[in-house]
Amino acid sequence: MEYIAYIAIFVVGVILGAVIVFLINRFHRKDMEKSFSSLSFDALRKNSDEFLKLAHETLSKQTQTGVGELEGKKKLIDQTLEAIKGDLQKVEKLVTEFDGERKKAFGEVSTQLRLTAEQTGKLQETTGKLQAALGNTKVRGQWGERMAEDILQLVGFVENVNYTKQKTQETARTRPDYTFVLPQNLKVNMDVKFPLDNYLNYLNAEAETDRESYKQKFIADTRNRIKEVKTRDYINPEENTVDYALMFIPNEQVFCFINENCGSIVDDALKDKVVLCSPVTLFAVLCVMRQAVQIFTLERTAADILSLLGAFNKQWDMFKTSMDKMGKRIEEAHKEFNSLVTTRTNQLERPLRKIEDLKLSKGIELPALSDSAELVSLETTEGEGESPANNAQQTNRLI
């Protein structure tokens, strides 16, 4: 029990001590808090003043730096704005010029479109008239003849010289459109009336079946025309024709259409001794004909040319002989002339010099003789063509 009492007393003492220590510490903490607060307030005020001072200095430096940078950036921005302003002015000028050119070009395009529309209308009208004209067999033949005439003029053929037109054959009642004259009285006949009705229908047709039908009809018309040319005595030995005839197709597009859609028709025509000619191929054939005629004509006149060359050579030899003789005579005359100028002149002047010496030695004055001697010397020098006998006579007269 005593032990428990001691413990209770110890505990109570501890508690009392703790309360006392607590109270003491509380009073000391208040004092310490006051002291610490005062010290902290003083330190904070000093630090605040220094911080504000430092902040003011830093802010002043930063403000000055910022003002400088701001001025630099302002100048850079001003320069950039000036450059942009100049570029904008250039762009505005270019836009203005482009707009003016656009208006001008648009006006020109509008004018060209209007002219094109007018030309297209005229072309359509002409095409319609051409189609209507080509639908007529007579007009179609005239058109083919006109095309052939242009080619003949281009080659250089002359009517009634290199060819005849619409001339009836003597042994037959047929009349070829053109007959070309070849060497040895040979002839080549050509037909220019080509059927184009179904070809025009083919071009105007819209349905594929109609186009195919017209195409086959056109090819059949071409084959029939080849047979007509073959059977119309265009190839007639009695008329002295060659063993083939020409059939003119007055359009390159039609000729190409025939070759593309029926390539065998050309070979079949050749078997029938009929040559299909487009404007280009007809030009080539006529050029070959003209060259053949020229070669044949040159061959026939070669003998006459050789004969003329022989006569020319003979006359040329005679001319060279005469020229040689004239050259020899001229050379002899030149030698004689040199003899007169040198030897004869010295012989004539020698007596004159002796007379002059005699006059000086005897003291004789002969002015007339001196003048006459000078005159003789002058005449001798200038009159180179006079003979020595005449000079001698003049000297004797003077003496």
- 292-323 residue pLDDT tens: 888 887 777 777 788 888 888 888 888 888 88
For residue 42, what pLDDT band results from cuts at 50, 70 and 90?
Answer: low
Over range 23-32, report the average pLDDT.
Answer: 60
Same structural domain, 249 and 364: no
Whether 349 and 387 map to the same domain: the answer is yes
Q: Is the pLDDT of residue 13 over 70?
A: no
Number of domains in the chain: 2
- Do 161 and 254 lie in one domain? The reply is yes
- Asked if residue 366 is part of any domain, the answer here is yes
Residue 82 pLDDT: 82
Instruction: For residues 280 and 338, state if they share a domain.
Output: no
Which region holds residue 381: left if phi is over 0, alpha if psi is between -120 and 50, else beta? Answer: alpha
Q: What is the mean pLDDT of residues 117-137?
A: 67
Of 258, 278, 300, which closes a domain? 300
- Position 44 scores a pLDDT of 61
Q: For the residues 19-43, what does the mean pLDDT come to?
A: 61
Taking 50 as the threshold, does the pLDDT of residue 383 lie above it? no
- Token pair, residue 266, equals 């050309």
Taking residues 236-252, report their average pLDDT: 87
End of a domain among 235, 270, 300?
300
Residue pLDDT, tens place only, 262-286: 878 888 899 889 999 999 999 999 9
| C-alpha closest to that of 256 among 199, 315, 307, 337 | 199
Task: Check whether 109 has a pLDDT greater than 60.
Answer: yes
390 occurs within a structural domain: yes
Q: Which residues are CB-neighbours of 367 under 8 A, at least 6 positions away?
A: none
Is the per-residue pLDDT at 397 higher than 60? no
pLDDT at position 10, please? Answer: 62
In whole angstroms, give the CA distance from residue 48 to residue 128.
Answer: 107
Q: Which segments of the chain does DSSP mark as H helices, in order?
A: 2-134, 137-155, 197-204, 208-231, 252-261, 264-271, 279-300, 302-339, 345-362, 367-382, 388-398
Q: How high is the pLDDT of residue 5?
A: 60
Residue 156 lies in a domain: yes
* pLDDT tens digits for range 161-189: 888 888 887 777 778 889 998 888 888 99
For position 394, what pLDDT does the model report?
Answer: 45
Q: Looking at the structure, do residues 318 and 382 belong to the same domain, yes or no? A: yes
Instruction: List, as one string, the DSSP characters of 360-387.
Output: HHHT---HHHHHHHHHHHHHHHH-TTS-
Q: Name the nearest CA neighbour of 245 among 192, 296, 297.
A: 192
Asked whether residue 11 is assigned to any structural domain, the reply reads no
Residue pair 152/163 in contact (Cβ under 8 Å)? The answer is yes
What is the structure's pLDDT at 32?
57
Does one domain contain both 223 and 369? no
Q: Is 384 domain-assigned?
A: yes
Q: What is the pLDDT of residue 213?
A: 92
Residues 290 and 359 grouped into a single domain = no
> What does the alpha-carbon distance between residue 50 and residue 54 come to, in Å, rounded to a whole number?
6
**Within this chain, do residues 143 and 286 fall inside the same structural domain, yes or no?**
yes
Q: Residue 359: inside a domain, yes or no? A: yes
* Residue 350 CB-density burial (10 A; 0-12 exposed, 13-18 middle, 19+ buried): exposed
Cα pseudo-dihedral 231, 234, 238, 239, rounded to 10: 160
> 226 and 157 share a domain?
yes
The total of other beta-carbon atoms located within 10 Å of residue 121's CB is 10
pTM summary value: 0.46
Q: What is the mean pLDDT of the chain?
A: 76
Same structural domain for residues 294 and 166? yes
Same domain? For 210 and 288 the reply is: yes
Which of the residue ranges 18-27, 114-123, 373-382 would you say has the lowest mean pLDDT?
A: 373-382
What is residue 97's three-state secondary structure?
Answer: helix
- Parent domain of 336: 313-398
Q: Which tops the pLDDT comparison, 50 or 253?
A: 253
CB 229 within 8 A of CB 188: no
Is 244 a domain residue? Answer: yes
Domain-embedded: residue 121: no
Residue 9: is its pLDDT beyond 70? no
The burial class, CB within 10 Å (0-12 / 13-18 / 19+), for 199 is buried
Same domain, 213 and 319: no
Answer yes or no: is pLDDT of 50 > 60.
yes
User: In sequence order, what are the beta bridge partners of 165?
Assistant: 178
Residue 250 and residue 148 in contact, taking contact as beta carbons nearer than 8 Å:
yes
Percent share of the chain, pLDDT over 70: 74
CA nearest to 139, candidates 215, 194, 217: 194
Please report the pLDDT score of residue 345 as a whole number: 76
Q: Among 300, 331, 364, which residue terminates a domain?
A: 300
